Every structure is written in C-alpha cells, then in structure tokens.
Structure 1
Amino acid sequence: MGVKYSPFDYAIHDDPFPVYARLLEEAPLYRNDEADFWALSRHADVTAALADHARYSSSHGPLLDRPPWGPDASAALSFVAMDPPGHTELRTPVSRGFTARRVAAMEPRIREIARRHLAEALQHGTFDFIEDFAVRVPLDVVSELVGVPESDRDEVRRLAARSLHREDSTQEVTADGAAAGAALLEYYSGLIARRRAEPADDMISVLTASLRDEEIVPILFVLLAAGSETTTNLLGHAWYWAWRYPEQREIAFGGDVTGWIEESLRYDPPAVGVARLLTEDTELYGTRVPAGSRMWLIIAAANRDPRVFPDPGRYDLRRDTTDLLSFSGGRHYCMGATLGRMEARIALEELVAAVAEYEIDPSGLRRSHMGNVRGFATMPTTVKPR
C-alpha cells in the first residue's frame, strides 16, 4: 500500500516521522486527492520552492486550512499571504521592530520575564511546562514588543489558541474558533484606537504612523498568535527530546544551549510546513502539476532528509544544522527568527541554572492540533531544583 499523508490527521500529529521517511523515499511528490493538495518533502525541492515566489506564490496564504486559504487570505494574515510588491510594502515597517539592535536591547527584559515565570512554576515542584512556562514567556515577550498590556495577555493567548484550533481532522474553522477570532480582532481594533490617541514606545504606535487600521489588525494577529506559538513549541520540543535522550540532555545541561535549540529546530520544528499556490504548469518527478494547485512544502520532512542530514532520526546536539529550514526561506524567511532564538536561549539558560533534574509524566502529555504547527498542549513536569 502506498504512503498516506495529511497534516490534519491526528495520528500523524502524534508521530509523523515514519510517514515523512516514506514520503522522502517513495513519494517526493505526493498527491492527496481528498484534501486537494500536492506535497514536496525533499530538502532540495522545498528549498527551491521557498526561494521561487513567482512560481510558488504566497497569495493564498501559508496554511492549507479552508479558510484562511484563498485569494482573500491577506485580510487575515497580512503580508504573510502576499507576494511582492505588496509583501514588501507591509513587511518593511514591521521589520523595523526586529532590527538586531532592538532585539539585543530586549535581552535583559526577556531574562526578567523568564525568571519570573520560572520562579512561579518551581514553587510547585510539579507543573505544566507548557502552560506554566513555555506559553507565558514568548507571549509576554511578543506582547510587550507589540504593546499588549500585561493584564490582557492571558486572554489574548487563549483567544489566539481557540481561533487556530481545528476539530477532528477537518480543515474547517469551528464556531468557537470563529467567535474567538472575532473577539481577537475586536480587541486589536480597540488597542489600535488607544495607541492612535496615546502613542507609546511599541510596535503598534510605529505601525499607526504609516498604516491603516485594516492593515494593522492582521499584522497583530500574525505576530501575537504565530510568533508566540512558534517559540512555545520550540521550548516544549527542546524540553521533551532532552528528557527522552539523557545523553543529549547532559550535553545541553553542560552548557550547549545553542546546539540544543538548533537540533530541536531541525529534529522537530514548530512549523510543519507552508502552503503555496502554483502559478504555472510545472513538471515534478515526471508528473505535470497544473497551475492553480495547492502545494504543501513539508519543512519538517525536509529537515530529516538524509541527503542533507546524515542519520536524520538521531537527536544529536553536536550535528551541523546549518541547512535547517525551520524558519522557512526566501522572501518569507521569519523576521522573528533572531528574537525567537534569543527567547529560547534565555529561557533554557534559566532552566539549566535552576533545575538539576526533571521528569515528564508521559500519561499527561497532550498535543495541540493545528495543521501547520506541531507542539504540545500539556507537559506535566516534576523538577529537582539546584
């Protein structure tokens, strides 16, 4: 029987790697008739597609879910669902909030945030690593960058998670998800209005100087939902796989936090893949794929391509991860990559400094279910402090 793959399959969410291995060898160009998409999994193919925005367009958005996939995806996802020149025009003002100088200046505040949440979690001895720490740190950091008041951050995170959730293995937005999305958009609109009246030292105030409200709202959705979710899942995977592989945990706790982050990004990336619209008939592996097709670029599979990463199923903090694709590529390379890496480094440094040993209760592990990202929703952890 041929390999079967869908990013909406909950069983694949639990353990996608055997399926990725089969796709890489048996079906580097894969067709899912039921969900109506094609998929590329090999590193060379995914890299080339990410770089070719003319042929592999972002105009319908990076998500296979219907909606937001479609010609109006930019209404919800801003520049993430655009090609140049519109993509450049909107991405440029946002990128000013992620300059190297600005990101570096945030380090003391990020460390303060991480220490505060970690101290609260460690008081209990046993805590949920995801909800009590991995969610809170990146949400606070992105919220502070954007300008969301601290008192509102838990509610913003809750609404964002609800708005992105998909029930069962369908692509449909649930009624609850739609309501959460509407509430989130209403909240952002009110926050923008307050910043127009009283500017502050935050990204919303910067954006109000050059963009209309209807342009700013989807940008905030992307930054607050996708930005925090990605780092949350990176932290969760780093913590989980280091627990699963004690010999690698020794390396991580011995000081190689950078290797810990980079190998976790390769081995189990937060972003599973990105969607693109094929703009012209293209022959791939002897098959003509017609213009207008939905193409799913499986970043997580490309990161395990043995043609680039020898013995890809081995979690090895000392391997060369230069060619990982976890932050996408081309014009849509994640502008928050430097900030996300810094957040993860600081959070893991604080954990290493405070925790001597830890155990995860596997019976309490539960995964989140979103087609384009992979991560944990809960991770019960018991620690022995230093």
Structure 2
Amino acid sequence: MSLRYSPYDFDVHNDPYPHYARLREQAPVFRNDTDDFWALSRHADVLAVLRDSSRFSSRNGLRMEPAFWGPQAEQFFSFVAMDPPQHTRMRGLVARAFTAHRVQALEPGLHRMARQLLEPLLEAESFDLIADFAGPFPTDVISELVGVPEADRAMIRALGMEIMYSDEESTDLRPEAVQAIGALIGYYTELTTDRLRHRRDDLLSALLDAADGDDRLTPEEIVGVLILLVGAGIETAMLTLGNAWHAAGQHPDQRRAAFGGRIDDWISESMRYDPATQTQLRTTTEQVELHGVTIPAGQRILLISGSANRDPEVFANPDTFDLDRDTSASLTFGSGRHHCLGANLARLELRVALREIVDAVADYEIDTDNAKRIHSSNNRGFAALPTHVTTR
C-alpha cells in the first residue's frame, strides 16, 4: 500500500504519531500532489529549514488553507509571515515592548485570575477543562497584558472563544470565527486610537512608544500584532493546557510526579510529547536537494515539528511520556529568527495555571468517552475535556 499523509485527514487528527513514524522511516521528503505540498518529518531536516530563512521563506504564512496562505498571510500572522528585512524591523520593534520584565510583572495578577476561574469549578468538582478554564484563562491573560479595560474583557473572552476551533467535522474557518476576527480588529483599532491619546502601563502603549530612531510601528501594524496574540497567545496556550492535562491523565505515574512538584518538567515534556502546534509552512525560494529528492523553487514545505519531537534519532523511546527526559532539543517554540517571541509568556501562563490546579487538586479523571478533539490542519488538541477532580 502506498504511503499517504494529509494534515486534513481526521485519522491523522486522532493520532498523528504512527503516520509520522512511517514518514520518517519511508519518506523523509514526502510529496502530496493532491494538497500540493512537500513534508519534512525528521528532526534534523525540520531544524535545518527553520534556521535557513534565505532558502525557505515565511512570506506566505504558516497554514495551507486558502484564506491564510499567500501574500495576505501577514494580515493574520503579522511579522511571523515576513522575511528579512521586514521581519527584522517588525520583530525588533515588538521585542522592545514585549520585554521579559513586562512578562514577569504579570505573575501576581495571573495567579489571582487563575484562582478566580478555578474556585467555582473546584466547588462543583466536575467541569470541562477547555471551555471552563483552558480557554478563558489565556484570553484574560492577553487582555491583562495588552491593557483591555476590565469592562470589555468578558466581550473579548467571548470573541476569543468564538475564534477557537470547535469539534465540527471541518477544518475550515467557521463564518462565526471570521466575524469574531473582524470584531476584534475593530475593537483593537479603537483601543489603539484611544492609547494614542492616553498612554497606560500596558503592552499596547509600549508598542506605540517602541522606536528605533525615527522608526515606529504604525497603528495598523500594532493591530496586526494584537490579532497575532489571539492565535499565538490564546489558542496555543489553551490547546497546550489541554494536551498537558490529557497526557498526565493517561500516565498515572507521571501524573503523580507532576503533582509532586515537577510542574516545569510536566510542561516541557507535554510540549514535546503532544505539542499544540504540529506543523508550519515555508516556501522554497530556490531549487533544493534533500535525501536525493529535488524540490523546485516556489514549493510549499510542511515542517512537521510534531514528528521532529518524536524522532528516535534525538529522543530515546520518543513515544513514552517521561518527565525525566531532556527536552532541550524540542522544536515546539521553533528555532532561528522565528523562534517564538512569546515563549516566556507561554511558560509563565502554563506554570501558573497548573500550579494553581495542583495546589487545590489531589487527583483527577478525564471522561475520555466525551472528550472531543479539534479538527485543524496545523494544531492539535481538544475542544472539550470533561474532568472530575478530587480536591485536597
């Protein structure tokens, strides 16, 4: 039987890792003619491409769906869908505002937000981790970071959840999600206009003030960065929390270790073992030879980081969930010039969320019969994770 692989395949969504193993072994450079892409699945190859932005461009974006792929990609992905020198300029200006100090200063507030969300859930002892906590929490975190007024945060939370993938039998962006994105663009445009007149101690004001000589971000560029945060700062955090919860739920020994204080190891191994972002795209700028295969210029290259993180050449017993593992070679946050700028914020969010849960919960069970996965060409996670907890 011929080897087949598509990121749109629901069998892949249910369990992609056997598919990845076959790709690594049989076709490290895999061609899908139907969906018009080449896939790389080995750690060494994915890493090399991530670090080679001259031959592998980001200008067409990260996802293959027609709405996202092409010259318009930067409308959704901001500087992540740019190459130098545009990327260098944009990322540099954003980094001046998105500092480690600003992220660290959020921690006390994040603990308060997590406890407020968890309190009624823990009293009930049964809840949907995704809808009731993993979705709302990072949405509130981004609102706090950006400087969204308290009175508007419930609306932003509702719009953010509308954009998140559902368990519907389609990978297409739902009309309701498109409308929610439009509403967020309108809201952030108005908020940016307000901050132009009245600065505050928040990321939005810092983005307006970020400068390299006379060069500053335009209001339109700033709104683009804020929309990027919806996906990079909300959706990915939601899915990662769910995947970490599910992985520990399936491995009692490792769950006990995690609940025994090894929160950071739980986070790192979860992101290697079952990362929220499974793939990302590049476009070849010239003809490339790899493993005896010639890839022409102008081709879509699907980098399967979810496969790279299970490559046995790098990780011993890669299909084992093991908190003792060295995860330093994980490609969850990328590598090279597009290494995730928000990695510190992501780890802080996850650490706070899981610490607050562990402090209040002795153990938990997931209702796996009613758990529901999302359907996405590049992300992996849950739309619903019904959970029963035993509180301390």
TM over 0.5: yes
Deviation (angstroms), 1:120: 2.5
Contact 1:10 1:169 in 2 (8 A): no
Contact 2:97 2:207 in 1 (8 A): no
**Alignment partner of 1:359 is 2:346:** no
The aligned runs of 1:284-303 (5 Å cut-off) are: 284-303=290-309
Distance in 2 (alpha carbons) for counterparts of 1:64 and 1:306:
28
Instruction: Provide the residue aligned with 2:255 in structure 1.
Output: 249
- Structure 1 distance, partners of 2:164, 2:107, is 29
Secondary structure at 2:283 match in 1? strand
Contact 2:258 2:265 (C-alpha < 8 Å) held by counterparts: yes
What SS does the corresponding residue of 1:123 show, helix, strand or coil?
Answer: helix
1:141 CA drift (Å) = 1.2
Q: Which residue of 2 aligns with 1:66?
A: 66
Give the deviation of 1:372 after TM superposition. 1.7
TM-score, normalised relative to structure 2: 0.94
Aligned length: 385
3-state secondary structure, aligned to 2:302: strand
How far does residue 100 in structure 1 lie from its aligned partner after superposition?
2.3
Structure 2 gap ranges (5+)? 210-215
In the alignment, is the contact (CA less than 8 A) between 1:46 and 1:299 conserved in 2? Answer: yes
Q: CA deviation at 1:54?
A: 0.4
Which residue of structure 1 aligns with residue 213 of structure 2? none
Structure 1 window deviating more from structure 2 (298-307 vs 110-119): it is 110-119
| 8 A contact 1:164–1:370 mirrored in 2 | no
Look up the SS of the partner of 1:156 in the other structure.
helix
Determine the structure 2 residue equivalent to 1:344. 350
Tell me the residue number matched to 1:119: 119
Q: Which residue of 2 aligns with 1:30?
A: 30
Matches within 5 A, 1:97-246: 97-163=97-163, 165=165, 168-169=169-170, 172-209=172-209, 210-246=216-252
Secondary structure of residue in 2 paired with 1:7: coil
Once the two structures are aligned, what percentage of the paired residues are identical?
50
Assess, with a 3 A threshold, how the Cα gap between structure 1 residues 18 and 152 changes in structure 2: closer, same or farther.
Answer: farther
User: Bigger CA drift: 89-98 or 362-371?
Assistant: 89-98
The aligned residue for residue 269 of structure 1 is 275
| Amino acid in structure 1 at the alignment position of 2:264 | T
Q: d(CA) in 2 for partners of 1:207 and 1:324?
A: 30
Contact 1:66 1:173 in 2 (8 A): no
2:212 aligns with: none
Q: 2 CA distance for matches of 1:245 and 1:380?
A: 17
Q: C-alpha distance in 1, partners of 2:152/2:378?
A: 26
Secondary structure in 1 matching 2:301: strand
1:216, CA displacement in angstroms? 1.4
CA contact (8 A) 2:195 2:204 kept: yes
Tell me the distance in 2 between the aligned counterparts of 1:284 and 1:319. Answer: 30
Match of 2:124, SS state, is coil
SS at match of 1:295: strand
- Is the alpha carbon distance of 1:215 and 1:279 closer, same or farther for their aligned partners in structure 2, counting shifts above 3 Å? same
- The AA in structure 1 aligned to 2:130 is I
1:169-228 deviations in Å (ceiling 9; x for gaps): 56x544333323222211221221222222211111222333222211211110123211
Distance 2:240 2:175 in 1: 29
* Distance in 1, Cα, partners of 2:374 & 2:10: 9
Please state whether the residue corresponding to 2:71 is helix, strand or coil. coil
Q: What is the SS of the residue equivalent to 2:72?
A: coil
Q: Is the 8 Å Cα contact of residues 126 and 388 (structure 2) preserved in structure 1?
A: yes
- C-alpha deviations, 1:69-106, integer Å up to 9, x for none? 10221133210100111112111222234322222222
Out of 229-238 and 175-184, give the one that drifted further.
175-184
Candidates 310, 313, 318, aligned match of 2:319 = 313
Asked whether the 8 Å contact 1:146–1:203 carries over to 2, the reply is yes
Tell me how large the CA RMSD over aligned residues is: 1.7
SS at match of 2:315: coil
Q: State the distance in 2 between where 1:97 and 1:122 align.
A: 36
List runs of 5+ in structure 1 lacking aligned partners.
none
Greater Cα shift, 209-218 or 158-167: 158-167
Cα distance between partner residues in 2 of 1:173 and 1:234: 20
Deviations 1:221-244 (CA, angstroms, capped at 9, x unpaired): 101232111111111111111110
Q: Which residue of 2 aligns with 1:370?
A: 376
In 1, the alpha carbon distance for the partners of 2:195 and 2:362 equals: 44
Measure, in 2, the Cα distance between the counterparts of 1:11 and 1:158. Answer: 30
- Seen in structure 2, the aligned counterparts of structure 1 residues 112 and 78 have a Cα distance that, compared at 3 Å, is same
Q: 2:188 and 2:33 mapped to 1: Cα distance?
A: 38
Work out the CA distance in 1 between the residues paired with 2:369 and 2:169: 21
AA of the residue aligned to 2:177: G
- Structure 1 residues 103 and 320, CA gap change in structure 2 (3 angstroms): same
Q: Is the 8 A contact 2:373 2:383 kept in 1?
A: yes
Match of 1:279 in 2: 285
Deviation at 1:45, TM superposition (A): 0.2
Note the C-alpha offset of 1:20. Answer: 1.0
Q: How much has 1:295 moved relative to structure 2?
A: 0.5
CA drift of 1:158 comes to 4.1
State the match for 2:334 in structure 1: 328
Instruction: Report what 2:265 is aligned to.
Output: 259
Moved more, 103-112 or 247-256: 103-112
| Change beyond 3 A, Cα 1:81–1:373 | same
